Structure 1
Amino acid sequence: MHHKSIDLFLQDSATWARGPLALVFVEDEVEIDTTLRHLRDCRFATIAAFMPDAFPLAADLGPDVHRVSYDTAQPDAAVRAVNRVIATAPGLWMHYCYNAEYLFYPFCETRSIGEMLAFHAEERRDAMLTYVVDLYADDLETCPNAVSLERAHLDRTGYYALARTDPETGHAKERQLDFFGGLRWRFEEHVPRPSRRIDRIGLFKSKPGLNLRPNHTFDDDEYNTFACPWHHNLTAAICSFRTAKALKRNPGSTYDIRTFRWHNSAPFDWHSRQLLDFGLMEPGQWF
């Protein structure tokens, strides 16, 4: 279904307000279809693609995707759209990502997103921390935009966390950390400081008054925690070519980067077991 504007999409909420809901913000023509098919394979009840009219969409995705005409190049485009969807459809589990990003959660090969979120909700959690794990092609001469599903690599090490400080009190926030690593860490001289974190609350349950902020956190502090007070909870990963694309597209960095490979690069297996083994997501009490 094609909605000619976000206003018309929101007005037609009876056709899409079913969760889990995936919101995809398409910034360019790279791997649009594979991103959407991946979410379909995760068995999201509803998938909405916010994208300019000029971008193509594969015919097989038409019955499964709500296409929304949207200018994703405007400032804070994703944040503004997510907040409008939250206000329209409270009480739904939602996931938001960009094209060429792929959500992985523990045991996703055999369990649906709905099954995972049902368990998470039973633990009285309304949000889930996701690590944005940078993917990149191993050969930039063959893949000049740094994107290749067949040759995708990721960093096996180099991830770390720092305490998140409350700007009002100067004290560390409880159960909140700022996470770093991947290409944003290795090439930090080309990445603005506010964009260096790799944590994102990529799965959350909408509610009245909730708002996403431009730094990928919410105005309800409990949503920004990585676990409940009594034990570890599930976390997930968003495997993303977005940073690699940006570093190769940006004239200020593209000529300085001959390769993204280093001694801690590993081929990406496209399987949750590899991410669990690398410590890039946490199964919590879910087995």
Structure 2
Amino acid sequence: MQFPDLDSFIAARPPAFTKGPSAMIFAEDGVEIESTLYHHLNAGFKSVVLFGHPEFKLDRKLQTSVIRVNYDMAAGASLIDAVNAAISIAPGAWLYYCYNAEYLFFPFCETRSIGEMMTFHGEERRDAMLTYVIDLYASNLKDAPNAVSLDDACLDKSGYYAQARLDPEVHNHPKERQLDFFGGLRWRFEEFVPPDRRRIDRISLFRARPGLVLRPDFTFDDEEYNTYSCKWHNNLTAAVCSFRVAKALKRNPGSTHDIKTFHWHNSESFDWTSQQLMDLGLMEPGQWF
């Protein structure tokens, strides 16, 4: 199924998408689009939608299993606008968004589906889930000059921290159960990253409802959606393992020549398992065992 633009997708209200759980993948370039789509199909999403330029090629299997929406990110099309439009047609459905070369991991995802996790999370009276964007990068930039390598991916095993999220409307008092999280390449190479793009937290998984709005900083206008847990115990969190920052730092003329390697003493090979991320404290199983 393919739509010529966002408006036609919204008007069609594809039944599988509006029921969910559904994944929206936004392709900024042609890097690892197919691996991103397969990863999220394998995670158990009932509907996977690719928003990207129509010239991006997909293999035959993906052509029949993925919904395509012509949406040129390079020409200024906005992830935020598309997600907010999608919210309007899928009340009650669990939705997820990410870019290409980003891969969702959640506790025990090797043996449990995204639908099972969302059902459990909803039973805990939660309508959104905090995700940490964990930077991935090739350990050898000579072999992978764009910093992307699925077979040689690394991540930082330490260097992550949190700060209170201040509320300017209440004399900058800290917001309840909200924190700003930092780390990874955005922290190590912060001189090349604008201050408003250094956080690594996103609310990537959420239940749509009428009037809900995703803001440009990947938080919602409903403050409860932005909390990391409920008031009575810890909740599940997930990780979006992402080559996006590494790609940008190597593509940007202002940083590429200053970065010879992303590897440092706290680098660790990524084994593509949820257990590694839980062992490193990069996501929380909460009460889900």
- Give the structure-2-normalised TM-score: 0.98
Amino acid at match of 1:156: K
1:197 equivalent in alignment to 2:199? yes
- CA offsets per residue over residues 180-239 of structure 1, 9 Å max, x none? 000000000000000000000010000000000000000000000000000000000000
State the partner residue of 2:122: 121
1:30 equivalent in alignment to 2:31? yes
Structure-2 separation of matches of 1:189 and 1:23: 31
Amino acid at match of 1:196: R
State the partner residue of 1:8: 8
Higher alpha-carbon deviation: 86-95 or 250-259 = 86-95
The share of aligned pairs that are identical, in percent, is 62
Amino acid at match of 2:267: S
Assess, with a 3 A threshold, how the Cα gap between structure 1 residues 68 and 80 changes in structure 2: closer, same or farther.
same
Deviation at 1:73, TM superposition (A): 2.6
Assess, with a 3 A threshold, how the Cα gap between structure 1 residues 8 and 138 changes in structure 2: closer, same or farther.
same
State the partner residue of 1:70: 71
Runs of 5+ unmatched residues, structure 1: none
Structure-1 separation of matches of 2:54 and 2:215: 27
Deviation at 1:83, TM superposition (A): 0.1
Deviation at 1:285, TM superposition (A): 0.2
Q: Contact conserved, 2:71 with 2:77, CA < 8 A, in 1?
A: no
Q: Contact conserved, 1:76 with 1:214, CA < 8 A, in 2?
A: no
Amino acid at match of 2:84: N
Structure-2 separation of matches of 1:273 and 1:222: 28
Amino acid at match of 2:269: P
Amino acid at match of 2:167: D
Structure-2 separation of matches of 1:14 and 1:59: 21
Q: 1:232 aligns with which of 234, 242, 246?
A: 234
Structure-2 separation of matches of 1:237 and 1:85: 22
Runs of 4+ more than 2 Å apart: 73-76
Aligned residue runs from structure 1 range 1-287, under 5 A: 1-15=1-15, 16-75=17-76, 77-169=78-170, 170-287=172-289
Structure-2 separation of matches of 1:58 and 1:9: 22
Assess, with a 3 A threshold, how the Cα gap between structure 1 residues 9 and 204 changes in structure 2: closer, same or farther.
same
- The number of residues matched between the two structures is 287
Deviation at 1:76, TM superposition (A): 6.4
Structure-2 separation of matches of 1:184 and 1:144: 19
Amino acid at match of 2:201: D
Structure-2 separation of matches of 1:141 and 1:200: 31
Amino acid at match of 1:145: N
Q: Contact conserved, 2:18 with 2:91, CA < 8 A, in 1?
A: no
Structure-1 separation of matches of 2:193 and 2:100: 20
Deviation at 1:266, TM superposition (A): 0.3
Structure-2 separation of matches of 1:216 and 1:76: 16
SS of residue in 1 equivalent to 2:258: coil
Structure-1 separation of matches of 2:250 and 2:14: 41
